[in-house]
Amino acid sequence: MSLDLQTLFFLTMYVEAILGLLLLLAWVQNVATHAVAWWGSAHLMRSLSVALYGMYGWAPDLISIDFAGALLFTSFGVTWTGARLFDGRQTRPGSLALGAILWVLACRFPGFADSNALRTLVSGAIIAGFSWASAYEFWRGRSESLVSRWPAIILLFGHGALFLLRTPVSALVSPAAEDIALTSAWLTVLSAEALLFSISIAFVLLAMAKERTELGHKTAAMIDPLTGLANRRAFMQDAESITRRQAAAGRPVAVFLIDFDHFKSINDRFGHATGDRVLRLFAEICTANLRSTDLVGRLGGEEFAVLMADANRDNAFLVAERLRAAFEMAAMVLDERTIASTLSIGVSIIQDPAQDLVALLGQADQALYRAKARGRNRVELAASDIDVDAAAAAPHPNEVGTPALA
């Protein structure tokens, strides 16, 4: 069984239309992903352009060549625009229509419509340009961990390269009129590739949009919406992994448990909007004062936790004190109102490779309780990390001045 050009022609027209409708249906189910609507429209435009090309010979050249080509090249510009929108970039209507404009202008030159080689060269260059531009847009957004992004880049680059090579390869395989059979075979290969590309790229683009949606849902399930920090589930999951890894390597881990002092009174006096503003301020303080590798999470309400890898007792205490002091200063006045919000922090350091995260958090919780009992707005180390009696005799930092910070 063999596929002739006419069969591939009608099959391509039908498949492009079906793919376009499927992509538009997927977009209707999630209208937030506008790129999918652009990609679906591009396939429908290609289906219509193929239909117009099929009218060559009994329809005016203005329809079957000029308009059909302009529609085809615009469809590739629409695909490129969808790639830009997918990664949050602005549309460029002028650039989108550039291929169609070049084609229409070329068709105005005498002899262009009668020169198959010239038409092939111009059309191949336009399609390759838009395909490579689309691949580049996806490559620019490679920092987003979407696995399906890479097949899209490869498909678009390969499709563009093949179209750009159409003219020189055609010249090599059909240098004379007696090579009609070879030329026909080459055209069949190109038509089959175009059909397979349309099917492949449609499903890859749809998979990319679906993968992003699923990733967004997964991220939303692990992020506290108010502060943008990890929520309790995400913190416990990542902290457990870090603790096991550090313990196996014999390296220390520090955990802070942080609680806002008299937070209920802030909500009662100033309203919950101000209370939320205070919580967001703390998240900003953490971002400014902690390493990018440190893990911060909101455990619930006004209780937060920090996990620091490779932090010994002294370093952990200094960092916790820095957080406390920075927040106390920043939260003194908010929106021209005196808030004077403060923190109490309990710090624990892993001592035994057999210890787990639960034990570490339990020690930090006991240290936090002592910080509350000893006047609040202070940092306390877990009892296993210092001599409790010596710690009880030590003056509060606010009484003797804040210790020098490393």
- pLDDT tens-place string over residues 344-387: 999 999 866 667 888 889 999 999 999 999 999 999 999 765 54
Per-residue HEC secondary structure of the chain comes to CCCCHHHHHHHHHHHHHHHHHHHHHHHHHCCCCHHHHHHHHHHHHHHHHHHHHCCECCECHHHHHHHHHHHHHHHHHHHHHHHHHHCCCCCCHHHHCHHHHHHHHHHCCCCCCCCHHHHHHHHHHHHHHHHHHHHHHHHHCCCCCCCCHHHHHHHHHHHHHHHHCHHHHHHHHCCCHHHHHHHHHHHHHHHHHHHHHHHHHHHHHHHHHHHHHHHHHHHHHHECCCCCCECHHHHHHHHHHHHHHHHHCCCCEEEEEEEECCHHHHHHHHCHHHHHHHHHHHHHHHHHHCCCCCEEEEEECCEEEEEEECCCHHHHHHHHHHHHHHHHHHCCEECCEECCCCEEEEEEECCCCCCCHHHHHHHHHHHHHHHHHCCCCCEEECCCCCCHHHHHHCCCHHHHCCCCCC
Residue 83: give the domain boundaries. 5-222
Write out pLDDT tens, residues 273-304.
999 999 999 999 999 999 989 999 999 999 99
- Segment 84-93 shows an average pLDDT of 93
The answer to whether residues 183 and 325 belong to one domain is no
Mean pLDDT of the residues in the chain: 85
Give the residue numbers marked as catalytic.
Answer: 302
Once rounded to an integer, what is the mean pLDDT over residues 93-106? 91
Residue 361 sits in a domain whose CATH number is 3.30.70.270
Q: Looking at residue 178, what is its pLDDT?
A: 45
The residue from 165, 188, 222 where one domain ends is: 222
Whether residue 76 is found in the same domain as residue 196: yes
**Residue 400 pLDDT exceeds 50:** no
14 and 97 in a single domain? The answer is yes
The domain total for the chain is 2
In a domain, 120, yes or no: yes
